[in-house]
Structure 1
Amino acid sequence: MTSSEIRQSFLDFFRGKDHRIVQSAPVVPHDDPTLLFTNAGMNQFKDVFLGVGTRDYNRAADTQKCIRVSGKHNDLEEVGIDTYHHTFFEMLGNWSFGDYYKSEAITWAWELLTEVWKLPKERLYATVYKDDDEAFDLWKELTDIDPSHIQRFGEKDNFWEMGETGPCGPCSEIHIDLTEDLSGAALVNKGVPEVIEIWNLVFIQYNRDESGTLTDLPAKHVDTGMGFERICAVLQGKTSNYDSDVFTPVIERIAELSGKKYEGEANQVAMRVIADHVRMLTFSIADGAMPGPEGRGYVLRRILRRGARFGRNLGLKEPFMWKIVATVTKLMAEVFPEIEERREIIEKVVRAEEESFGETLDRGLEIFEEILAAMKKEDRSEMSGAEAFKLYDTFGFPLDLTSLLARERGKTIDVPGFEKHLQEQKERSRSATKNKMRAAGKDGGLDIQMQSDAQTEFIGYDSLETESEIAAVGEMVKTDDGLILPVVLERTPFYLEAGGQISDTGSFVADSTTYDVTGLTGNRDQVVHLLLGDESLEQVRDEQMVIAKVDARRRWDIMRNHTVTHLLHQALREVLGTHVQQAGSYVGPDRLRFDFSHFQKVSPEDLADIESRVNEKILEAISVQHHRNVPFDEAKEMGALMFFGDKYGDTVNVIQIADYSLEFCGGTHVKNTSQIGLFKIVSEGSIASGTRRIEAVTGRGVYNFIGDLEQKIEREQEGVSELQDKIKSLEKEMKKLAIEQSDTVIEDFVANAESIGVSKIVVAKVDAENMDELKGMGDKLREKLSSGIGLLAAAIDEKVALVCVVSDDLVSGKSIKAGALVGQIAKMLGGGGGGRPHLATAGAKDVEKLDEALKTAGELFKEQLT
């Protein structure tokens, strides 16, 4: 039987037993940030076993893509050295969710192995948990296995657990004796290639609590797993998995590229390692993983570098693994079509990573030889932790690669010493980051100590100003700028730096005295406000009522930049591929920085496409929904993006931009994409192998960017004409976009306006840079109002600007005049104005009373119309 026939016969067998044949889950678990890779067939059913999920079927079977490279399922060291371990493999499995149990699982396993696949019964052994008499008896009663081939083992081999607590139960494994003389009885569970496990039947019947006590589950489940590569080798009469047709085409391709034969231990090990590793890279990248400096990305990088080093053993010095990807996809795309669909990007990623590492691999190998020479001279067999760390830090050698090289030469490595140097490097990095944050003014480098456990309620999603009681006051600190007083409020509108978004600034008003809030520290449960002032700060005390006001202009700029990072993330995934994942960000008032996983420079054409897509979403004026305190499992069901390594609580916040973007995020955002204004990419570049960075601006930042360009033109003599044309083009684009945006906003105002009879009333605050722009918006409003009164207000240079419009029918029919109306409103704000009956403007200086004045305006307009 070919491997394809074996796989299909397994699925057909269980389809005949009324099992739903389900698709393999991705090897990159997108809905489980606690799991590095999918490492077992049961992963996609974990919610069912935990009792928090259900399916519309109670029997299932599949072939699951799996990767095992870390934790208790770490097979990396054995891969290529032995003949039956792999980093990537398929797991054939069948499941029962509260339906059939031990008798059916055992009967069907025996039926498939001995009646369908015709495996010799005398070569099969069944193991059971030492206390599982039921399974032992069922094997004897329901099958014709030799009773002496039923063996009992303890918890280590025959008791399955999902974790330290939770669902668990005994398991029954089926092993095959591959010895020539059938002498393998004593070799079961000994980890030797002559007697190997081919199928594990897990009976999930208990729940283990924190005390270790086992109690019966309300429903019992079956979870089985069979290594596809192993069973193919067995059924094809091969002693090595790598000799089956699952691997032979891949190994033949490696032999072709290297000009070497699959002969001799050194060549065979190298080719087995490379074949396995290319399969792992192909499937993991196809499912969204990318090589990187940490977490899942670093696993891919380790695997690729290990493969590259074994390529050197075959004389392959130029990038070669990417050339093997097509062989893997051709072999397996019929079952897993996604690998062929994404083959080109897989090849590009692997090639780029090979090229990057190739530059340092040869030099690193030279240093390795120098270290060995020094060890020989000093008559020592152990490489120091410092020497191993140098290879890691300078030449990118993962520890397991250095260990492999050392082992080949009969040497060992001081692993604890290496870990010590690695930890010291991490501490230095954290210290440098902390110092950098202090230098940037997060907390001014102050040693802030709060001798209080007072809690803070954050209300800054909905309000930028609040009255609150002081919950705690810390010790005053003297600085060059003045005195700093740490203060904790019962509730605050101030956002504390998190998720890349920097902290708010603003002011406190206490007993008619205003203090600047220059920074924040603490944590989400206790936000510490750093008040800057003079000796009057001594009057600030516990339980005092204060007014806390966030710098609204600055916050709005930050929110524009934060929301646009979500649009940018999605646009990057659309243009470059779904392998793109956020790798870091900075969200400030003046700019944003977005780091993401990608393997090559983003072309100017792609950057233009990305920028255009973001601006299109801004122009579409899409509502931004902030789902707060959503249960984590519910957020997963919504489809929110999540990534391995991120920490999530029981409840999370989710930002949704229609059907375009859905991400976990606790930051602050605009309510509509139109409020972003404009988006402009300023730069794109590399910050590390496999990680790129985009810097961009929005709203006012775009105007400032254009202003900077203008100043550059004035300074530079050459290229003036070209730069001026660029500025004009940008200004024209800005005006066009601004007009389109304002049209959308005005239409929304009219559509949602209050009606008095046939007439409508529009009273609204808008963003405008000057009075001319505001008047232009007034003209548009008057055009859209067939009958009605409108008032638009804007804060310009910390002053109030007003424009009032009245439709022709109301001017002639009711003698309502815009000049008189706007004059009344302006007077309330300490200003004045006037104009034509149809359109009039006014200015005032009391910005703080604007909301109250607009409310009065609405009532005034109603009186005029009734």
Structure 2
Amino acid sequence: MKELTSSQIRQMYLDFFKSKGHEVMPSASLIPHDDPTLLWINSGVATMKKFFDGSVVPKNPRITSSQKSIRTNDIENVGHTARHHTLFEMLGNFSVGDYFKEEAITWAWELLTSPKWFGMDPERLYVTVYPKDTEAKRIWHEEAGLALDHIVEVEDNFWDIGQGPSGPDSEIFYDRGQEFNNLADDDPENYPGGENERYLEIWNIVFSEFNHKPDDTYEPLPHKNIDTGMGLERVVSVFQHAKTNFETDLFLPLIKATEKKSGQHHYGDSTETDVSFKVIADHIRAVTFAIGDGALPSNEGRGYVIRRLIRRAVMHGRQLGIDHAFLYQLVPVVGKIMESYYPEVLEQADYIAKVVRMEEDRFNETLQDGLQLLNENIKKAKQDDAKQLTGKSVFKLYDTYGFPLELTKEIATDQGLEIDQTGFDLEMKQQKERARSARSNAKSMGVQKSLLVDIKTPSKYVGYEKLTVTAVLKNIVASEKQVDQVASGKAELIFDQTPFYAEMGGQVADRGVIKDDQGKVVAQVIDVQHAPNGQNLHTVEVLAPLTTATTYELAVDQDFHNKVRKNHTATHLLDQALRDVLGSHTHQAGSLVEPDYLRFDFTNLGSVTADDLKKVEKIVNDKIWQALPVKTVITDIEAAKKMGAIALFTEKYGKVVRVVKVGDYSTEFCGGNHVDNTSELGLFKITSESGVGAGVRRIEAVTSKEAFEYLDQHNQLLQQTAQQLKLTQLKELPHRIAQMTDEIRDLKQKAAALEGKLAQQQTADIFHQPVTVNQHTLVAAQVEVAGMQQLRALADQWKVQNSSDVLVLAAKPAENKVNLIAAVSPAGIKAGIKAGDLIKTIAPLVGGGGGGRPDLAQAGGKNPAGIQAALAAAKQWLAER
């Protein structure tokens, strides 16, 4: 067998299936696009859902890919096993209703065994099949030529996730030889498919041919599919004769770099330190790719996963003697390893490293707090003669401070304690249940809907050139069936050509009308989306009968369309201006282009300052006033990239792409509508900037007429304010407002001083008139002060004067507002009197509630009529003590 690098294996796999007519699909972003069921892309097939469920028909039903994926359900196992990873690559070939078992099996055999390709020894290959799948067994034996004693029937070889597509599968195993065997020859698990180290599963081929129905019966799918998965890390370990995945060129450079950072530990020295090397290598790969795809550390969702991985890696670094930030220095190493297929990692290495460094520094600041909490928990456990740390306390260390479970175990063991593993597992289970319930429970993959999938009528979009055309109505879908005529209600229509833009890339769909040959409006177009086969599907409100094979006039609402065009071009200008001002790390995280405004989401580590927003706004307006031409170029994707065109990680692009150039300033991949010249925008104004998630900011803005109206409205408000202040010029406003602010501050200070004097005058009367209740002295009175702050000041004076054992004061600062305060002297507290208990008793009488410490408590209420009753109740409460 050949000695191949990971890059060679990946490329050879893709080249092989390309030679079999497959389209090579680039690896999608780890952040799922329009799929609320997934936190991360977790497999190759996850990016193919839209093809398998029929919502989109692929241009080529044969697809192959190497898809980066993240799985986080067993992070704790990483480093302790040979093949658990958080980030991994899944090589796959897919057939959407095209070829099936015979091609999938014979091609797999050819790729694995042909000297031209992988060149594996056929004698080392074994496969498992579902016992009832006699056809797959026959093909493996008769067509591929695999010996029968290398084919194992396994009952579990049926891929089924509940309702939806399902079917039998074949797993392919590589016999690594007796030297890898960790079991006795007579062990029942010592076979391909068993729990052993000798027979390594390298590929799984799923024959998706049934629909699992709600009643747990199975029916044949209208289109049979092939879904396969070959873990790159696993197959690389075979080619590179590695004991585990970590001794391959995908991980060893990271392990060697970590050895240098450690300076005192080396890989292979001990099982314990090897775990740390593996964890660090695994986690920095996942973190690097996740941040590169737009995720950022935070306390929830994807951000929480990144934060947890970084903190776990930092703790393992400490076990290797690395007590300073170091992970960020491994980011370029990841980039270099993956450069051949993922050049964007090195391109973004500085930005990714900056994010990792910030998170490392933040964790190191909190690390001491976590260690202090752990030491406190250990001390308390020993004081209570406990033999273990509680599951709840261990989980808090794990969840809040990022302490790996094994580290807490180690420290506890050194102190002669165990941990409550059962309690920890319960806390972990509850957290996972919370996380699952927080995400959508939408189905992970539906069954093909053949109605729209089977409509393959050609339809051309002509809206780039004209907004009114005559077109032939080809298809009508109403009441979930295809019909030749519809008289009223809602319907979906496909024409042979259309000027209506279908919603895509953040740009909303066009609106407009459909007219008959007499010029009568027969339908209102209320939405346009892409049908599975790519046609523009018009959702309409039918006003008069519509019939297929009839010619109609399709007219886009031009005012609506032109406003959208302006805002779309402004979005491109804004995107580039943000890069210019904030840095090249900033990239689009979503957008919405409406006729009345635009919304643009972008990544940035912190908030955007007012000065930076002003710079961005000025740049966009300068480009508008420079009257830059807006041109569209149709070219191939490689030529577009050479032009410097910016692509979005959430979008897929074909071989032929549309590039929109705004002068020499902005060049982007885009299929939307734009103005011919930036001067058409007239004016650009940012109306708001805010945060919408971890590391994601949002700008909303307006252009043209809406921008003028926005500024005019604000100008009117300023004019009204100037008139109220009796100013003749707007430029006088800032000075006058500053002057008024100073005056208000002075008046507040004088009022506070007067209130203080008034309060002191009142204390002269009330503090010297305590009453004795049950051998305790009480001062209880209503006072005329402005609010709680003054009541607290009176309580401080009472404390200094030592006027009584208990104080209760009430104030009515407003018509429907009451403030109460209660205070107890040290002698009163010693006698068992608590201010918090007292305030809770009397507060309901003024329609409120409150609480506090034994020496001081306060409450608020809405019923001033109850003040005297509350004061009387205080006296009664004290009498009962």
Preserved CA contact (<8 Å) 1:620 1:674 = no
* SS of the residue 2:10 aligns to: helix
Return closer, same or farther for 1:381/1:701 CA change in 2, 3 Å cut-off: farther
Q: Output the CA distance in 2 between the equivalents of 1:3 and 1:613.
A: 45
Partner of 1:243: 247
Return closer, same or farther for 1:583/1:407 CA change in 2, 3 Å cut-off: farther
Q: Output the CA distance in 2 between the equivalents of 1:384 and 1:705.
A: 62
Partner of 1:94: 93
Partner of 2:29: 26
Partner of 2:784: none
Asked if 1:291 is matched to 2:297, the reply is yes
Asked if 1:168 is matched to 2:166, the reply is yes
Asked if 1:200 is matched to 2:201, the reply is no
Asked if 1:136 is matched to 2:137, the reply is yes
Asked if 1:214 is matched to 2:218, the reply is yes
Partner of 2:774: none
Deviates more, 1:224-233 or 1:5-14: 5-14
Preserved CA contact (<8 Å) 2:237 2:243 = yes
C-alpha deviation, 1:315, in angstroms: 2.0
Q: Output the CA distance in 1 between the equivalents of 2:18 and 2:693.
A: 48
| Equivalent residue for 2:313, pick from 307, 313, 317 | 307
* SS of the residue 1:64 aligns to: strand
Letter in 2 for 1:171: D
* SS of the residue 1:354 aligns to: helix
C-alpha deviation, 1:90, in angstroms: 1.3
C-alpha deviation, 1:46, in angstroms: 1.4
Q: Output the CA distance in 1 between the equivalents of 2:572 and 2:300.
A: 23
Return closer, same or farther for 1:49/1:417 CA change in 2, 3 Å cut-off: closer
Return closer, same or farther for 1:56/1:643 CA change in 2, 3 Å cut-off: closer
Preserved CA contact (<8 Å) 2:29 2:650 = no
* Aligned pairs for 1:476-515 within 5 A: none
C-alpha deviation, 1:357, in angstroms: 1.8
Return closer, same or farther for 1:125/1:705 CA change in 2, 3 Å cut-off: farther
* SS of the residue 2:69 aligns to: strand
Asked if 1:43 is matched to 2:46, the reply is yes
Q: Output the CA distance in 1 between the equivalents of 2:227 and 2:218.
A: 19
Partner of 1:609: 615
Q: Output the CA distance in 1 between the equivalents of 2:237 and 2:9.
A: 11
C-alpha deviation, 1:16, in angstroms: 2.9
What TM-score do the two structures reach when normalised by structure 2?
A: 0.52
Return closer, same or farther for 1:677/1:21 CA change in 2, 3 Å cut-off: closer
C-alpha deviation, 1:31, in angstroms: 3.7
* SS of the residue 1:96 aligns to: strand
Asked if 1:321 is matched to 2:322, the reply is no
Preserved CA contact (<8 Å) 1:37 1:68 = yes
Letter in 2 for 1:97: V
Q: Output the CA distance in 2 between the equivalents of 1:376 and 1:369.
A: 11
C-alpha deviation, 1:370, in angstroms: 2.8
Q: Output the CA distance in 1 between the equivalents of 2:59 and 2:312.
A: 43
Return closer, same or farther for 1:641/1:295 CA change in 2, 3 Å cut-off: farther
* Aligned pairs for 1:441-840 within 5 A: 572=578, 575-576=582-583, 598-600=604-606, 602=608, 606-613=612-619, 678-679=685-686, 690=695, 699=711, 703=715, 713-714=735-736
Give the number of aligned pairs.
533
What TM-score do the two structures reach when normalised by structure 1?
A: 0.53
Asked if 1:125 is matched to 2:137, the reply is no
Asked if 1:341 is matched to 2:347, the reply is yes
Unaligned runs of 5+ in 1: 430-560, 586-591, 623-638, 645-657, 664-671, 721-866
Return closer, same or farther for 1:165/1:387 CA change in 2, 3 Å cut-off: same
Partner of 1:818: none
Q: Output the CA distance in 2 between the equivalents of 1:352 and 1:21.
A: 37
* SS of the residue 1:239 aligns to: coil
* SS of the residue 1:51 aligns to: coil
C-alpha deviation, 1:86, in angstroms: 1.0
Partner of 1:253: 257
Return closer, same or farther for 1:329/1:422 CA change in 2, 3 Å cut-off: closer
C-alpha deviation, 1:716, in angstroms: 5.7
CA offset digits 1:691-745 (Å, max 9, x no partner):
779899963686568989966544769xx9xxxxxxxxxxxxxxxxxxxxxxxxx
C-alpha deviation, 1:423, in angstroms: 11
Partner of 2:562: none
Q: Output the CA distance in 1 between the equivalents of 2:433 and 2:235.
A: 46
Q: Output the CA distance in 2 between the equivalents of 1:378 and 1:94.
A: 60
Letter in 1 for 2:111: L
Preserved CA contact (<8 Å) 1:583 1:597 = no
* SS of the residue 1:21 aligns to: strand
Partner of 1:530: none
Preserved CA contact (<8 Å) 1:292 1:691 = no
* SS of the residue 1:324 aligns to: helix
Q: Output the CA distance in 2 between the equivalents of 1:412 and 1:617.
A: 64
C-alpha deviation, 1:174, in angstroms: 1.0
Letter in 1 for 2:315: R
Return closer, same or farther for 1:33/1:700 CA change in 2, 3 Å cut-off: farther
Partner of 1:351: 357
Return closer, same or farther for 1:52/1:640 CA change in 2, 3 Å cut-off: farther
Preserved CA contact (<8 Å) 2:617 2:686 = yes
Q: Output the CA distance in 2 between the equivalents of 1:138 and 1:43.
A: 28
Q: Output the CA distance in 1 between the equivalents of 2:39 and 2:253.
A: 29
Q: What is the percentage of aligned positions where both structures have the same residue?
A: 41
CA offset digits 1:505-546 (Å, max 9, x no partner):
xxxxxxxxxxxxxxxxxxxxxxxxxxxxxxxxxxxxxxxxxx
Q: Output the CA distance in 1 between the equivalents of 2:198 and 2:334.
A: 28
* SS of the residue 1:186 aligns to: coil
Q: Output the CA distance in 2 between the equivalents of 1:593 and 1:389.
A: 40
* SS of the residue 2:214 aligns to: coil
Unaligned runs of 5+ in 2: 439-566, 593-597, 629-645, 652-665, 672-678, 703-709, 723-729, 743-881
Q: Output the CA distance in 1 between the equivalents of 2:153 and 2:361.
A: 52
Preserved CA contact (<8 Å) 2:684 2:701 = no
Return closer, same or farther for 1:385/1:392 CA change in 2, 3 Å cut-off: same
Partner of 2:107: 108
* SS of the residue 2:222 aligns to: strand
Preserved CA contact (<8 Å) 1:26 1:287 = yes
C-alpha deviation, 1:620, in angstroms: 11
C-alpha deviation, 1:232, in angstroms: 0.8
Q: Output the CA distance in 1 between the equivalents of 2:680 and 2:393.
A: 53
Letter in 1 for 2:266: K
C-alpha deviation, 1:366, in angstroms: 2.9
Preserved CA contact (<8 Å) 1:384 1:417 = no
Letter in 2 for 1:412: D
Return closer, same or farther for 1:381/1:38 CA change in 2, 3 Å cut-off: farther
Return closer, same or farther for 1:39/1:272 CA change in 2, 3 Å cut-off: same
Preserved CA contact (<8 Å) 2:174 2:200 = yes
Return closer, same or farther for 1:411/1:659 CA change in 2, 3 Å cut-off: same
Letter in 1 for 2:136: A
* SS of the residue 2:132 aligns to: coil
Q: Output the CA distance in 2 between the equivalents of 1:689 and 1:14.
A: 39
Preserved CA contact (<8 Å) 1:174 1:197 = yes
Preserved CA contact (<8 Å) 1:202 1:223 = yes
* Aligned pairs for 1:398-477 within 5 A: 398=402, 401-408=403-410, 409=413, 410-413=418-421, 414-415=423-424, 418=427
Q: Output the CA distance in 1 between the equivalents of 2:389 and 2:575.
A: 44
CA offset digits 1:33-91 (Å, max 9, x no partner):
3322211112222122112222222322221111111xxxx242221111211111111
Letter in 2 for 1:296: R
Coordinate RMSD, CA, aligned:
4.8
